[in-house]
Structure 1
């Protein structure tokens, strides 16, 4: 024991270890003391940063919803059918049809907005209301108002706004709030208000995305001091005022009753909403009393560990060279040769220990570097000087020089050769090996040629390169990156997606550069195999016509797809579905939200069609098919195509099987009679029922269950087939209409467009263009 605790006072190794550990231990203690004496200021700054970050995330989500509402209002305000309806004082048969079409268009738009419960338009000239599901003439629109527990007068007051756009907040008897977003439609001189477009958003749909707080409250407030938030929160709403929130950059302290609260807010980019958070100050300060005890305990533990570790490593590594010479000196007097095995083992162990310590130091340095980079990107640390100094000192990359940021992720990791035949327990280590291989290949091909660094963030790799416009323009970087992608695919059977930002020249733009690269990855994921595995942010932009033109084309194509399925044109419907997927989505990174809305609209059309044809006639099979859940799993164009084609193939095979079953003779009699008499203008379901001496309702319902479509549909489809033939033989639209049983060309044009998506004239013109191109 005496030898064990004997220290030489002049032993430099012991004191160097001791001083090192004390210095390392003193630094966090000094920081703790600094935090203790500056706790209030530091905590308040952290509170404001934390609350601002939370509110910014809420703002981004909620303002996206408000932007969608504004775009919806603008789209409906420019609708041609609405422009016709707002001038009508009473509804005729024709105007009722236009109103029904406008209702369907509103329903399609509403179905793509998951937080909206209803869209309706109030027409001042006719004192009527058109919702996305129903039409309420002046005489019964009080029924619609009653749905919101309002009288007709109260409803008109609720939707009245003097400005072009606005909103109102209403509450029902249970205290549930709804926001009515309003947009007025005026006459050409802006003197007369013709209609008001109302988008109804129940607050509960928005509140679902707000976390409930045990202490405090997150809420919206407007200039009228109307508050939308968690009604169960402990904070009294009577003490909250809109005017209290006047400085967005500072934390606001306010006493409510006996409790002091800290408050932050972020103003909305739309309307006069402010997103606010109010939390008791004591929630953050309750650990203050324990801080000094922690500091004392930290000092005691630090001193004890410093002495123990210093003693241990000084004893273990004390003057190894001196020990070596001592061993040689002892063996010098021996009658045998010196045994060098012990010397060799000792030196080898010393080298291995030194190498292990060096590796641990490098790993800790890399982890600290990644933490600084991740912290700045995620907003945990906004000190640009620390970020710039850390990157420059560790990698030599300067964020003051032109640079680009690249985000790198794996598209099909389970197809990688490294994961073939391994157990579940081996996947973690295999993934680490994969990351090492990917990083090593990238460093050899890219970082060996360009100044940059490699890091990790959120399961992705992050690469930053100092590069000029001239180097980027010559294409060498793109060539080298695609070479890496080729190596990954050939060597590992791994598809890697890489998104690159624009060139930036300031440290402040580092987060923006990362967001651009991440957006490119999201864009690549949506388009799947249809888009290059490597792309720059600028390449994901394109020139395109107005979005609304695309939407009108999509609606027409959806109608045509629906009619193809109803008409049993299964192969043509499959081809047309793929054509829609190829043509109706915009390859522009700024249109990702629009593309997703169109994806859901197309899914809704396919689902509605399947529900009409299969769900009503064969509910058990439709439930087993489960098309909606399967289609909602589509997260890209490629997966949507695959899933919908599979469902379409299954449903059409099932329909073919069902429709090939033998049906009664009277069904075939109807089909034959229509084939022989389709040109009779008076031909309808009633005449066919009388001819068969059968009940009208039974004939219509039973015929559709056997054939998959109604008798009226069959008559129109047969006439359209003959119309196409006559148009291609040179007849005019009027001549063809008279020949196939329509009283005038207008009726033919309307029916033709309903089933084919285009007019007879367009059909004939398209055919003539094809003939010219073939010639």
Structure 2
């Protein structure tokens, strides 16, 4: 038996060695051809890179001259250039403005290192990055900084060429642009300063660029190379069209050949290692080919357990699809793990966000999908499933357990106690808040979907009334109260008051009304959950719409900076609504207090006195008031909004309604009151009264009568 096994491994080993030799031969051929083609491609890629670099250099030079042209036609340069002798204070101020212009242009274009202007008449230099230099001593000091003589500098400043350049000894270059007056006399010279590395830019990798001018006095380079270093580089030349410069690029040989050499060494080492492993492995495992029958039986049992586990997992997935509606027909095969008992209950588990942090893989920064399921399933097996058969599902985000019962009342109490133990275990061990909802006892498995939806609704009820997922064990049905009223009239009245407060920009009152609606109009009955949600979304809609419509453009810009729409749309519970609305209202109140602290116009108090004295005029409006005081209509409206937190028309209505309420107390007819306080008819008066007071004039009279009684 061992002999046959040895022959088999010997055949495999020979075949493997032949394959390795064939792969090695192909690799050597490929490596040789790669060397040939790499040598060819080196010069092609270097030439292509050279064209890109030359194009970039020429483009930088063109942009520099465009920058000088822009500075030459900018305001102030001609005036400063015509000054002779010392500068006056105003002329010094003008030169500072010109210097700021130079600095701004240089920063915007991000081209040259420095920008200079030489003024011939005043014999001075103005630089964007240093102070103005004046007189021969300052000019000589300026020249010494760049390693040139003053005589050469004055010679360059008077050259006849319209656009020229000079290469300095320390890898720097100046580009000159003369400025002439209207008689074509030179009054100034603008020159941009570059270093070789800044003009050339990054030539890529370890490449080096040298530029030689026709004068061949100095060269410009991106990085300096010694003569002995140039032997390891390939030289590529190109003639530049601008100024007839000659550009040389040095490309290192090792940049291309080094990778191929390393590749060949690594591949050879890998092949040798594979051959060695194959020889040693074949010899070693040939002794281990005999497997006892007992080991085969043990392996078969392990395989059977794995197959059974996979089958159970597949059946659970089918039941999860049925609960979520992905599958219509009930999967009876999924109930194999449950007992024949007809009674069962469903239990839903929801965990807070700490669960993501506890079960997340710290190295991969992600949460394994099966880890949380595995932990909960093992806890349930230890606490509940040993006595009560059950399965654990995960239809969506939360987990659902289906548990069989035998004695209904006793079993429910015991399971509730065990679930409380599980909730406390999660809190103490993992610091995770577990919310556990126990459903009603069911006798028909076909109603499992309806029972699952009832559990979902119960969880939503808890989330609606809580700031976060409440920890604890809850039972479906304990949150029901069939006799509680839905408080529709209270909600409608509170909504109208809230709207009035928002329109009058009384945000403190708006929050009080919102809190009163929460206390009085929202039913705690779980059956009213959908109505409560609609009411909450209705209040959110009222807040968003009113804040958007009632604000002027300045206030609207501030409201948008609060991101109030996004914050309100994210709300999922009534507590979040109160918290977010409170924060938004406080920010708006602070904003309006800051605006009120500003100085208000003197005419505002006079206009208010005028309104109080002429409120009976039915033709009084914003336009008539603006004409009366000689102020524009937008200015009047904006000033009232900024300094009074209400509009002009709103103030007119408030003055009229205050007088109207006094007349209502004296039992005057509504029609007469309307005409006396400045309204055209009783309907207009009633609409205004209801808008600002929340009730009609008739209702106000009734309230007065009741209070007096």
Task: Give me the TM-score of the superposition, normalised by structure 2.
Answer: 0.48
By relative contact order (CA 8 Å, sep 6+), the higher-ranking structure is 1
Task: Give me the TM-score of the superposition, normalised by structure 1.
Answer: 0.45
